[in-house]
């Protein structure tokens, strides 16, 4: 019998015994997939063992605990259904988790989420109870709140999220996501050196939805691999249509932490480069600093292979992660992008200006090209050029433009140079 079927049986049996009031806590132990990649199978097994022990210690005699999925446990609390009591129970599990954390020297940290639903408050059907606890669990995970109790409002929020996710799946399948291009310009001679591809989605039901919303949605739905493959191919295809302006133009594609952990990434890049006939050095992959810190061993190996092929590797949002200086020694990057939060106010905030200046100096010591993001005025551009910054990107030049407008912008720039 599977974990799920056994749980339904337990639910029915306990429902009969315990005057019909019963609470199901679905306890999720984080993401062992990622843990296995980082610390090995043994660490993931240890983690699950810790969770099972914690939950057994928590349960009273009449309660029960079972494992119902790779990293999900079901706790049944007999005779408990009042919301105050179920919340106390969830808080007690969270407290026990903190105690384990304080005493454990394991490299993997417990990070539990709990979804709560009760008989007869939320439903009388065992199937439905499990479904409702799953919805609550998803909310707890999404909001990182630790635990959440089922309610119709919570269910409606999740339903619209799943709805949007479904629409996103269809949009990826039909290729209706678009890439826009934002120019990257030399800070020295103000000539274009390439562009960053930024994804745009217009949902049929909800209108334009920003990447800040749909990229995390795609990550949660396991769609990132498809989306990244699509972005790399679409970016190279469209870059192959850009006019010749007498110097090479590189196209940059954004990667999520998950995309650089994908063992197929090198093959995806290689085949896209050969399909679209682009020189390898004209593709840049932008990777946030925090993505590298998260799983440096595996991602560094992939990045080294890409660098050997000549593909550019850019460290995005630099300054917002937690990297140490020793990380510079080994990083297989060719470019560093100073996060816009330091650039936007660098003329008025002395501290920001100092950071920008220091990062430029540091990056050059490691032979990295420096790009400043968020350049919104000519004054900032001039200040950056004075500090030796190589490339600038921001609204001063252009926002992200659809392909045709980007091509017009390129032509416009070269005619300006020809006239000068």
Binding site for Ca ion (CB under 5 A): 254, 286, 316-317
Min CB(407)–Ca ion separation in Å:
21
Query: Which residue's beta carbon is nearest to the bound ligand C2E?
Result: 394
Query: Which residue's beta carbon is nearest to the bound Ca ion?
Result: 286
Min CB(307)–Ca ion separation in Å:
18
Going from the C-alpha of 239 to that of each of 184, 279, 404, the distances in angstroms are: 14, 11, 11
Q: Which does 231 bind (CB under 5 to 8 A by kind): Ca ion, ligand C2E, none?
A: ligand C2E
Q: Which CB sits closer to ligand C2E, 118 or 233?
A: 233
Q: Of 254, 247, 239, 238, which is closest to residue 188 (Cα–Cα)? A: 247
Min CB(178)–ligand C2E separation in Å:
10
Q: Which CB sits closer to Ca ion, 76 or 380?
A: 380
Please answer whether residues 10 and 76 qualify as being in contact, where contact means their C-beta atoms are separated by less than 8 angstroms.
Answer: yes
Phi and psi for 392 in degrees, rounded to 5?
-125, 150
Q: Under 8 Å CB-to-CB from 347, ≥6 apart: which residues?
A: 353, 379, 380, 383
Q: Which does 283 bind (CB under 5 to 8 A by kind): Ca ion, ligand C2E, none?
A: none
Q: Which does 137 bind (CB under 5 to 8 A by kind): ligand C2E, Ca ion, none?
A: none
First to last CA, the chain: 78
Min CB(320)–Ca ion separation in Å:
9
Please answer whether residues 50 and 146 qualify as being in contact, where contact means their C-beta atoms are separated by less than 8 angstroms.
Answer: no
Q: Is the backbone peptide bond immediately before 73 cis, with ω within 30 degrees of 0?
A: no
Min CB(321)–Ca ion separation in Å:
12
Q: Which does 386 bind (CB under 5 to 8 A by kind): Ca ion, ligand C2E, none?
A: none
What is the spatial distance between Cα 13 and Cα 76, in angstroms, rounded to a whole number? 11
Where along the sequence are the contacts to ligand C2E (CB under 6 A)? 182, 198-199, 210-212, 215, 231, 254-256, 286, 316-317, 340, 374-376, 394-395, 400
Q: Which CB sits closer to Ca ion, 63 or 316?
A: 316
The distance between the two most distant Cα atoms of the chain, rounded to a whole number of Å, is 88
Please answer whether residues 303 and 332 qualify as being in contact, where contact means their C-beta atoms are separated by less than 8 angstroms.
Answer: yes
């Amino acid at each position: 019998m599977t974990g799920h079927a056994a749980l339904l049986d337990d639910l029915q049996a306990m429902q009969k015994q315990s005057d019909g009031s019963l609470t199901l806590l679905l306890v999720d132990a984080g993401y062992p997939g990622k843990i296995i990649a980082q610390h090995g199978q043994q660490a993931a097994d240890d983690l699950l063992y810790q969770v099972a022990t914690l939950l057994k210690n928590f349960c009273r005699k009449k309660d029960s605990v079972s494992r119902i999925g790779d990293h999900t446990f079901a706790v049944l609390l007999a005779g408990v259904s009042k919301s105050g009591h179920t919340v106390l129970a969830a808080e007690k599990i969270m407290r026990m988790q903190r105690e384990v954390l304080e005493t454990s020297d394991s490299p993997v940290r417990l990070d539990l989420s709990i979804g709560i639903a009760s008989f007869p408050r939320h439903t009388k059907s065992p199937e439905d109870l499990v479904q409702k606890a799953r919805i609550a669990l998803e909310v707890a995970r999404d909001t990182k709140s630790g635990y959440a109790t089922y309610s119709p409002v919570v269910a409606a929020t999740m339903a619209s999220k799943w709805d949007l996710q479904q629409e996103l799946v269809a949009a990826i399948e039909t290729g209706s996501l678009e890439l826009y291009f934002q120019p990257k310009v030399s800070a020295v001679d103000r000539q274009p050196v390439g562009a960053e591809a930024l994804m745009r989605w217009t949902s049929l039901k909800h209108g334009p939805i920003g990447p800040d919303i749909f990229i995390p949605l795609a990550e949660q739905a396991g769609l990132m691999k498809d989306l990244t493959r699509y972005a790399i191919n679409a970016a190279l295809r469209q870059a192959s249509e850009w006019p010749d302006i007498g110097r090479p133009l590189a196209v940059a594609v954004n990667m999520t932490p998950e995309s650089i952990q994908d063992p197929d990434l090198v093959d995806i890049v290689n085949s896209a480069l050969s399909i679209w006939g682009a020189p390898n050095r004209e593709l840049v992959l932008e990777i946030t600093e925090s993505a590298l810190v998260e799983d440096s061993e595996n991602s560094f190996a992939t990045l080294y292979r890409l660098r050997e092929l000549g593909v550019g590797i850019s460290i995005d949002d630099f300054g917002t992660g937690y990297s140490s200086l020793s990380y510079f020694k080994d990083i297989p990057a060719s470019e560093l992008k100073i996060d816009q939060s330091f650039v936007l106010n660098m003329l008025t905030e002395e501290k920001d200006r100092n950071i920008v200046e220091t990062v430029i100096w540091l990056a050059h010591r490691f032979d990295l090209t420096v790009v400043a993001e968020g350049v919104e005025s000519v004054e900032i551009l001039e200040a950056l050029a004075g500090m030796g910054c190589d490339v600038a990107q921001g609204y001063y030049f252009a926002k992200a433009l659809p392909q045709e407008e980007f091509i017009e912008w390129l032509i416009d720039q070269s005619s300006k140079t020809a006239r000068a």
